Every structure is written in C-alpha cells, then in structure tokens.
Amino acid sequence: MSIPELVVQNWSRLLAGLAMTVELTIISLIIAGMLGLLFGLLSVSKKKSLRAIALVYVDIVRGTPLLVQAFFIYFGIPAALGIRLDANTAGIITLSLNAGGYLAEIFRGGIESINKGQMEAARSLGLPYSLAMTKVILPQAVRTMTPALINQCIITLKDTSILSIIGIQELTQTGRLIIANNYQAFEMWTIVAVMYFIIIMILTKISKRIERKMSYGKSEN
C-alpha cells in the first residue's frame, strides 16, 4: 500500500492522534505557564527560602529525563499512594511539571534582564512590589522572553511523543497501532514525521514573525 493510500485509509485515526497531541500540548502549556511564572517569581524573590524552593523544583525537572518523570508519575506515585491514575492525566501532569521547570528559568532570565532601576523607580513612586512587578517589569520582560517561550511550546509539542510509552494515543502511539495492523513501518513513520514537521514548521514561522514584530517595536522605541 502506498503512502497516499495509507493516509486516506487512516486519515480519521491520524487526525484523532494529532488532535490528542495538540490537546495535551495546549493544556500542559497553560498549566506550565502558571507554574513557570510562579517559580520564576520565587526564584527572584529576596527571601532565600523561596529561592531555594524554586531552585529545587527547577533542578529536579532539569536533572531527570522526561521519560523517567512520566514513569514516576504514572507508575511510581499511584503504587506508593494506592491510587489509580489514567494515562492522559499522568501525561498532562508530566508535561506540565517538566515544561514548568524550563519556563521558570525563562521567566527568571526575562525578569533579571530588566534593569534593576526599573523596579527601584516604580517602588519610589509608591507602587507595591507585586504591582510594580506585574505592571512595570513583566510587560518589559515578556518582550525578551517571547522567542524562548515559543521555542518551549515547540519542545513540549515534540515531547508529547514520549508519552506514547505510557499508552496515550497521541500521534506517535497512533502510528504504532496502525503499523501493528499493516506492518508498513517505513511508510507510516514517514507520514507521522511529515505531520509533526508541518505543525512544528508552522509554529516556527509564527515564532519568527513575532520576533520580527518585537524587533520592529524595539527599533521604533
């Protein structure tokens, strides 16, 4: 069976797998964004204890492979606590915690890239720390963080393929199941690779366009 015939025959299954991949990515990135912002703010806090909490979280995430994290959350925690955790939930938790650790570093770097005088000026005008951070520092930091944030989105999208190992029927797992039926591994993996490539290229083009707009905005200022 040729590649076009395989695509036509399995189009609905491939689209369902792609939809699951996109859904996992979006949900995980929303949660990861909140975690990243929280721990990013903790990492620039004046309190040593809060910085230590952020450091431990980031070090654990960055110091262990995503696959090990997925196994720990899907198999380890339920076994220890005597609970049942479905694969999709475990996958979202894994991706969220993993991406959150990297986003925390992105937020920290973005915040620290802003001149400290900005915060001092805002505080001297009577703004409390939280308001100065949200109204003065973060809006400026987002401009510098945008390329890295979009890059993390692309990485998280690709990381969803690792979750096929715990049985989530995203795009990679869908490809494996189809191959189990027709044994056309080369053709099927070519189709899956092309689908990933198209999505990632679209995100890359969007990223570059946003970067150009940001650079244009800077030059205007």
Tens of pLDDT, residue by residue over 41-53, are 999 888 999 999 9
Q: What is the DSSP letter of 114?
A: S
| Lookup: tokens for 146 | 């945008």
Tens of pLDDT, residue by residue over 202-218, are 888 887 887 777 666 55
CB 50 within 8 A of CB 42: yes
- Mean pLDDT of all residues belonging to the chain: 88
CA distances in angstroms from 152 to 43, 62, 86, 95, listed in the order given:
19, 13, 25, 11
- pLDDT score recorded for residue 156: 94
CA distance 61 to 102: 8
Name the nearest CA neighbour of 68 among 166, 155, 152, 158.
Answer: 166
- pLDDT score recorded for residue 144: 82
Mean pLDDT of 139-145: 83
- 113: phi then psi, degrees, rounded to nearest 5: -75, -15
Q: Which CATH superfamily is domain 3-220 in?
A: MetI-like (1.10.3720.10)
Query: What's this model's pTM, rounded to 2 decimal places?
Result: 0.87
- pLDDT score recorded for residue 33: 94
CB 85 within 8 A of CB 72: no
- pLDDT score recorded for residue 55: 95
- pLDDT score recorded for residue 78: 93
CA distance 75 to 73: 6
Question: pLDDT-derived band of residue 28, with 50, 70 and 90 as boundaries?
Answer: very high
Tens of pLDDT, residue by residue over 12-25, are 999 999 999 999 99
